[in-house]
A and B are shown apart, each in its own frame.
Chain A
Amino acid sequence: MSEIVDNNPLDLTGTRISVQKPEVRYDVQGEMPDEERVRIAMRSFVKDFGAHSAIYMESCIHCGMCAEACHYYVQTGDPKYTPIWKLELFKQAYKREAGPFAFVYRLFDLKSAVTAQQLQQWQELIYDSCTMCGRCTMICPMGIDIAALVSQARHAMFEAGLVPHELWAVAERAEREGSPLGATASTFADRCEWMADEHEVEVPVDKERADVLVTISSIEIMKYPNTIADFAKVLNHMGVDWTFRTDGYEATNFGLLSGNAAWQKDMSMKMIKAAIACGAKTLILPECGHAYGALRWQGANLYGKPLPFEVLHISEYLARGIKEGKIRLRQWPESVTFHDPCQVSRRGGATAAPREVMRALGVKLTEMGEPGLNWCCGGGGGVVTIHRADELRYKTFELKMKQVEATKAEHLVSSCSNCRQTFDDGQAHFQWDKTMESLLEIVAANLINT
């Protein structure tokens, strides 16, 4: 596999940063016979199959309504993008191995075995064409959380060595170097110093004790480094005792996105340990969607007990600071629409916070439909890293552009750097006149410092 690693130069110059487009695709990892791959995939899908997933697997009535919620189906009309169809192979595994009638299925050899070829076909459905945005969960009359099942299917695909090349490569790099995009600890420390100089702001790094540990996304470190200064400006303004730590700064979790549970845990544990090491009471997650799902909702379960500190998305921290009077803002009475990052709002529950921040800024907000339900940008779930998915991604992005345009708002604001690079990339592709702006950046630019 090392040759795959050597063949993965990073592309840090494009609008979307990832590994470079591979000349030869390696979408299969590891050497093993096909039957072995299938066996591992099916086994690991049903392994520790929780009650929730089992209930979902039992409940589908094949009504097909979920298709209408999924941007891939809506934009292509191709039935293979029907959300529940993405789990078809895994449903067979469940019925045969784990369901209440599994013995009947096995006895009569019902539910024919899945083939390796099918699994490879499904790679596109499980990775390239699902951002795990969870809109389908909102439409399903049985209330099935299809997005959670896709996440579970990714575990199976990872163990069977069936991950799209670039996603696998960035995940592997993240596990090895501590960052998917080359933002190693020393690079991060350098960038903090650079930003401190450039913006004449104090950026504490590696303080031994601090009340607040701030984490960041590699996308921000490499592509939007001003975020470092924005964090510093806001937290210094609030008079908070805070720090970045080079032993736990990276909030993205490509272990989660690619489906490697062990790597996911490693990545989360770095931040958890760093927060404990400096005695932090609060850990702030950056503007990153899946980082929120990974640590806020899954972190404690990987840790094995409740975390000894609270975990907040930066938008929640800002909202709290405003409420407590610790953040004083100039008015910014612009016409704005807000893009809800799926994992923070719809699936994470932090939907009110950014709106409270915008209210304090005095913006004129036009919603894109029901708050928390808007179309996904199309780049989540690691999809933006997968080059062969680009064309499909641009198709789904058109839907997003239309939704944004319909609000007639002048500014497009959001709170996720992965959405941001997807918007940047889509903007360049379509020569769109809208640039997504970061909520943190807007707040940092409108502080009243006395």
Chain B
Amino acid sequence: MDLIDFARGPALQWSLALFIFGIAWRLIGVLLLHRKVDHSLPRHQDTTMGGVRLIFSRMWPKPEFRQSNAVHYALSYTFHIGLFIVIFLFRPHMLFIRDLTGLSWPTLPSGFVYVIGAMTLATLVAMLVRRMSHPVLKMISNFDDYFSWAVTALPVATGLLAVSHLGARYETLLALHILSVCLLLVWFPFGKLMHATLFVISRGTTGALFERKGAST
């Protein structure tokens, strides 16, 4: 079996399986925990909307905090939107998902995606530099933070290498690209990348709890 066949075949299948199983395990793990009944008289009975509201409203900082976190939000939004475009609006990627699921949607011109890809990678590098130099980030960061960064940056980097035919044969580069994606999928449920799903639960929890009290969110 060629490297590329291995990558496209068993590697991708197994990592997808782990990805799905791991996410389920972790989500079920936190969702099944014992929830205590709250006997206090609620200020507001219906708390669902409070949860939903915070899930959306916390996408953006309160005016009070806008200035202090401006750089952070700018970098983070650039990176996340860039990543989204690269993953979902690149024609070869869409075709791959179409083969898996049958779904298809319009995509962007490849040249444009390459520019976005380069920008995404640059933003990731900027975020890493910031993490390693900002006193707070430097202090609180752990293995998970750096490893999660690496497994996120690798597919972007190898994807760019593959399309620019740099360093090795296209097939080899593509195989590496796919393997890096496998690594991302496998790591995803175990580290902080889970925030992509957990944000709904943690924001929703606080939103609902605070709505019950009528507290500020």
Contact = CB atoms under 8 A, between A and B. Distances in A.
A55 B198 contact: yes
A52 B212 CA distance: 14
Contacts of B214: 349-351
A73 B139 CA distance: 13
A82 B139 contact: yes
Q: Is the interface of A mostly helix, strand, loop or mixed?
A: loop
B26 A370 contact: no
A301 B213 CA distance: 14
Nearest to B215: A349
A373 to B, nearest CB: 6
Contacts of A305: 39
Given A82-B136, A301-B39, A349-B214, A68 B34 contact: no
Contacts, number: 168
A274 to B, nearest CB: 19
Contact of A61 (B136, B192, B205): B192
Interface string B129-163: 00000111111111011000000000000000000
A85 interface: yes
Given A62-B192, A68-B65, A349 B43 contact: yes
Contacts of A310: 41
Given A143-B58, A297-B213, A69 B65 contact: yes
B62 A139 contact: yes
Contacts of A304: 39
A80 to B, nearest CB: 7
Contacts of A58: 26, 30, 194, 198, 202
A22 interface: no
Contacts of B135: 77, 79
A68 B68 contact: yes
Nearest to B203: A143
B215 A141 contact: no
A370 B65 CA distance: 11
Given A50-B34, A51-B31, A99-B29, A144 B202 contact: yes
Contacts of A67: 136
Interface stretch (A151-159, A222-230, A340-348, A442-450): A340-348
A298 B198 contact: no
Contacts of B140: 62, 64, 79, 82, 84-85, 88
Nearest to A139: B65
A104 B194 CA distance: 17
B202 A301 contact: no
A67 B41 CA distance: 33
Interface residues of A, number: 62
A55 B26 CA distance: 10
B58 A65 contact: no
A300 B40 contact: yes
Interface string B48-81: 0000001000100111110011001000100000
Contacts of A84: 140
B89 to A, nearest CB: 24
Interface in A230-248: none
Contact of B215 (A142, A144, A348): A348
Contact of A100 (B29, B40, B43, B210): B29
Given A64-B136, A301-B36, A372 B216 contact: yes
B215 A300 contact: no
Nearest to A53: B33
Contact of A59 (B28, B139, B201): B201
Contact of B137 (A62, A345, A370, A373): A62
A306 B194 CA distance: 37
Contacts of B145: 62
B139 A80 contact: yes
Contact of B40 (A101, A299, A372): A299
B213 A143 contact: no
B114 to A, nearest CB: 28
Given A51-B31, A61-B192, A143 B202 contact: yes
Contacts of A144: 202, 206
Contacts of A100: 25-26, 28-30
A71 interface: no
A332 interface: no
A62 B141 contact: yes
B215 A55 contact: no
Nearest to B217: A138
B202 A56 contact: yes
A196 interface: no
30 contacts: A49-B33, A51-B34, A52-B209, A55-B202, A61-B195, A62-B144, A62-B192, A64-B136, A65-B69, A79-B136, A79-B138, A88-B140, A100-B29, A138-B62, A139-B62, A142-B195, A142-B199, A143-B204, A144-B202, A297-B40, A298-B40, A300-B39, A300-B41, A301-B40, A345-B216, A347-B213, A349-B214, A351-B216, A369-B64, A370-B63
Interface of B: 25-26, 28-31, 33-36, 38-41, 43, 54, 58, 61-65, 68-69, 72, 76, 134-142, 144-145, 190, 192, 194-195, 198-199, 201-207, 209-210, 213-217
Interface of A: 49-52, 54-56, 58-65, 67-69, 73, 77, 79-80, 82, 84-85, 88, 99-101, 137-145, 296-301, 303-307, 310-311, 345-351, 369-370, 372-373
Top 5 closest pairs, chain A to chain B, by CB: A100-B29, A349-B214, A143-B203, A300-B39, A51-B33
